[in-house]
Amino acid sequence: MAAFVAWLATSSVGYAQSLPAGPLSLAGGALTVGGDVLATAGPDDPGFFTYTSYDRSLLRLMQIDLTASARAGRHVTLLGQLRTQNFGRVDVVAAYVRVRPWAHRRIDVQAGRIPPTFGGFARRAYGQDNPLVGLPLAYQYLTSLRTDSLPLDGEELLRMRGRGWLSRFTLGNTEPYHGLPLVNALQWDTGLQVHAESDVVEVTGAVTAGTISNPRLRDATGLRQLVARAVVRPMTGLVLGTSVARGPFLTSGAEAWSRSRHDDGEYIQTSLGADAEYSRGHTLVRGELMRTAWNVPHLWSATAGRPLTALALSMEVRQTLRPGLYAAGRLEHLGFSRITGQGRQSEWEAPVSRIEVGGGYRLTRSLELKASFQHNRRETFRFGRFTGLASQLAYWF
Amino acid sequence: MTPRVGTGFAAALILALACTAAGQGTVARRGSIQGRVEIRRAVHPAERRPTVGDLGTPRDRPAAEPHKSVVYLESAPRGAFEPADGGRAVLDQRNETFVPHVLAVTTGTVVEFPNSDRFYHNVFSFSKGGRFDLGRYAAGKSKSVRFDRPGIIRVFCDIHSHMNAFILVFSHPFFAITDADGRYRIDNVPPGTYSVVAWNEGVTSEPRTVTVREGAASDLEFSLR
């Protein structure tokens, strides 16, 4: 598979020269269409460290995105993005209207399937803005926790440690299914978003149907999550951001079950995040810290009345070595709070660490070949390690 | 003044006068090529890539300058390829736009890339003979590149996808950039018959033949589709 990507890279250079390097501009510039094509090849990952669902690994992925922006007058823009992975079904990733009520004030209202408000990574284009092949753990790694199914007790949750790719619980939906990442970067939420900015400060607030872990198209109970983000740019090249999100995370089936129990507390997900970016010359450094807490009242005996928490830390460096050639690295860790099972205490999900190093070379302005080596470590008895070299060819216009 | 020194000075003076007269004669003998380049296709400024990840409307940009053309001699007269100093030129980064959009220089020219915006740019080019990456630098700072090989250099910003410019590097000085109306004039062309080409946004015309006569302007019109 890696050889296939290498062959694709060499054989596609000439072809890419004749392909568009910029977006297609139609109707006098009122409609622009762009696209991203990604072909990724890597080794088998038996521990499911790199999976985004039960059957989809980021290391073995063909992804095609088509993005369009249509201006409807001076104040209104329609934006959308379609995606297909491994030539499967076509999904609508984004579909929203952006309204700028006052032409000379930098305030925008966006409604529909909107870009993620929370965090520093989820809005970045996976192919072009990600210097490595893998996604940050916080935005991709699947914990065992689900929105439609709940563990009966602490012991049942502990039995699912390290099995987020296909977890199964007793309460709610009992069918096996993948669990939640801390933030879902591949699926966007539906709601209403307001954004205001100056040259130094940006603030964004949104109400959405899902949560940052489980964005949704709609929910029977309407818009329920509140999420906000503030960004400050104290000097050129330095960006400091902070985010907060809070909303009920159970979907309808499990929520009905929780209501029937007459629990005192609510099943709420609360997340806090801080991110920073500094760039100068040929160096770019990014760091992100986030804490997510899922309040699961019926497990309070196992959690000592505290929510299930996850803490994610990520540091990323990118260094341009020569025109078109760069090296990059990312160091990450996911940690989890401890709970009590049957005669044992442990983190409710297995802590995971990942180091990924690699680089990329721009064959043309819009064709890039990346390769990265990643080592994952998880505190589980089986499949506790995964090391692999992956390559990716990215083309965009 | 000794007679020996006086004789030498007189000889130098006569030589200098002779050279000046010859130089004036050379200038007088040269002609020019002038005309207009008509663009018969719609040329739109580069659009931003439609990114759905933006939380708000991207910054406004001023209306783009008309896309100018470059007219040049395809085959330059003998002696035109003497090594030249090249001088300096400026390609500014202002309001998320390269200004000017088209720059034509001779080999050996050092092009400055000042950043006149309040945010970062990252100028780069992957063109043959002009591959460079200047990295990110703040407002008021400038970096430069010397172009020693003739060719067409496409310049981009790695942060703002819609920013692009052309630098046409010639090994001779016989070229001109059109004005806003598409008019051009190439001066100081030695008499002779030449192939002339017009270029606009990567599109080149078929070479046209023109004869330049002493002290006269030869008209040559182009139409690019």
In this prediction, residue A108 carries a pLDDT of 98
In 10 A of CB A114, how many CB atoms?
26
Mean pLDDT (whole number) for A149-166: 94
Q: Which residues of A338-367 are buried (b: 16+ CB within 10 A; e: fewer)?
A: ebbbeeeebbbbbbbbbebbbbbebbbbbb
> Which residue out of B41, B44, B48, B49 would a mutagenesis test of the A interface target, given it has the greatest number of A Cβ atoms within 10 Å?
B49
Q: Check whether A205 has a pLDDT greater than 90.
A: yes
In sequence order, which residues have a C-beta less than 8 Å from that of residue A326 and are 6 or more positions away?
A131, A318, A319, A320, A359, A360, A361
**Is 60 exceeded by the pLDDT of residue B67?**
yes
For the residues A176-187, what does the mean pLDDT come to? Answer: 95
Decide if pLDDT at A359 tops 60: yes
Contact A238, A277 (CB under 8 A): yes
The answer on pLDDT for A269 being more than 70 is yes
Rounded to the nearest angstrom, the minimum Cα separation between A50 and chain B is 23
User: Can you give the pLDDT at residue A183?
Assistant: 97
Query: In a mutagenesis test of the B interface, which of A236, A243, A277, A366 is the best target, namely the one with the most B β-carbons within 10 Å?
Result: A236
Confidence of residue B22 (pLDDT cuts 50, 70, 90): very low
Out of A79, A107, A236, the one facing B50 most closely (by C-beta) is A79
Determine contact: B139 vs chain A, CB below 8 A: yes
Q: How far is A8 from chain B (nearest CA, A)?
A: 20
Residue B77: predicted pLDDT:
75
A323:B57 CB<8 A: no
- The whole-number pLDDT of residue A288 equals 98
Q: Do A22 and B120 touch (CB under 8 A)?
A: no
**pLDDT at res. A55:** 85
pLDDT score recorded for residue B3: 42
State whether residue B81 sits within 8 Å of chain A by CB. Answer: no
Interface pTM, i.e. ipTM: 0.85
Asked if residue A170 has pLDDT above 70, the reply is yes
Q: Does A23 sit within 8 Å of B48, measured CB to CB?
A: yes
Residue B44 scores a pLDDT above 50: yes
Would you state the pLDDT for residue B128? Answer: 87
User: How many C-beta neighbours within 10 Å does residue A290 have?
Assistant: 27
Nearest one of B101, B31, B72 to B173, comparing CA atoms = B72
Task: Test B57 with A106 for CB contact under 8 angstroms.
Answer: yes
Q: Do A67 and B132 touch (CB under 8 A)?
A: no
pLDDT in tens, B204-223: 999 999 999 999 999 999 99
The C-alpha atoms of residue A310 and residue A53 are separated, in whole angstroms, by 19
**With an 8 Å Cβ cutoff, is B161 touching chain A?**
yes
Q: What whole-number distance in Å separates Cα of residue A209 and Cα of residue A38?
A: 29
> Quick check: A166 pLDDT over 80?
yes
Are B55 and A123 inside 8 Å of each other by CB? yes
Closest by Cβ to B119, choosing from A123, A236, A322: A236
Average pLDDT, chain A: 92
What mean pLDDT comes out for the span A75-87? Answer: 96
Predicted pLDDT of residue B81: 59
B119 touches chain A (CB under 8 A): yes
Compute the distance between CA of residue B153 and CA of residue B200 in angstroms, rounded to an integer.
13
User: Tens digit of pLDDT for each residue in A271-307?
Assistant: 999 999 999 999 999 999 999 999 999 998 999 999 9
**Mean pLDDT score of chain B:** 85
The pLDDT of B71-97, averaged and rounded, is 83
Quick check: B140 contacting A, CB < 8 Å? no
Is a pLDDT exceeding 80 seen at residue A252?
no
* Chain B contacts in chain A segment 1-60 (CB below 8 A): 22-23, 25, 28-29, 32-34
* pLDDT (0 to 100) of residue B129: 80
A69-83, A280-294, B35-49: lowest mean pLDDT where?
B35-49
Q: Do B51 and A108 touch (CB under 8 A)?
A: no
Least confident of A177-181, A274-278, A377-381: A377-381
The candidate with the shortest Cα–Cα distance to B137, out of A116, A125, A237, is A237
pLDDT digits 0-9 by tens, A206-227:
999 999 999 988 766 666 899 9
Q: pLDDT tens-digit profile of B153-172?
A: 999 999 998 999 999 999 99
Q: Which pLDDT band holds residue B80 (cuts at 50, 70, 90)?
A: low
Number of A–B residue contacts, CB under 8 Å? 112
Set of chain B residues whose Cβ sits within 8 Å of the Cβ of A238: none
> What is the pLDDT confidence band of residue A136, given thresholds at 50, 70 and 90?
very high
Per-residue pLDDT band for A113 (boundaries 50, 70, 90) equals very high
The band of A386, judged by pLDDT with boundaries at 50, 70 and 90, is very high
pLDDT tens digit string along B179-200?
A: 999 999 999 999 999 999 999 9
∠ CA(A24), CA(A26), CA(A30), 5° rounding? 110
The alpha-carbon gap from A93 to the nearest alpha carbon of chain B, in Å, equals: 9
Q: What is the rounded CA–CA span in Å between residue A248 and residue A267? A: 6
Residue B11 confidence class, pLDDT cut points 50, 70, 90 = very low
Contact between chains at B50 and A68 (C-beta distance less than 8 A): yes
The verdict on A187 touching B (C-beta cutoff 8 Å) is no
Task: Note which residues in 97-156 of chain A have CB less than 8 A from chain B.
Answer: 98, 100, 106-108, 110, 115, 117, 123-125
Q: What pLDDT score does A219 carry?
A: 67
For residue A77, the cross-strand partners are: A71, A98
Quick one: pLDDT at residue A53? 87
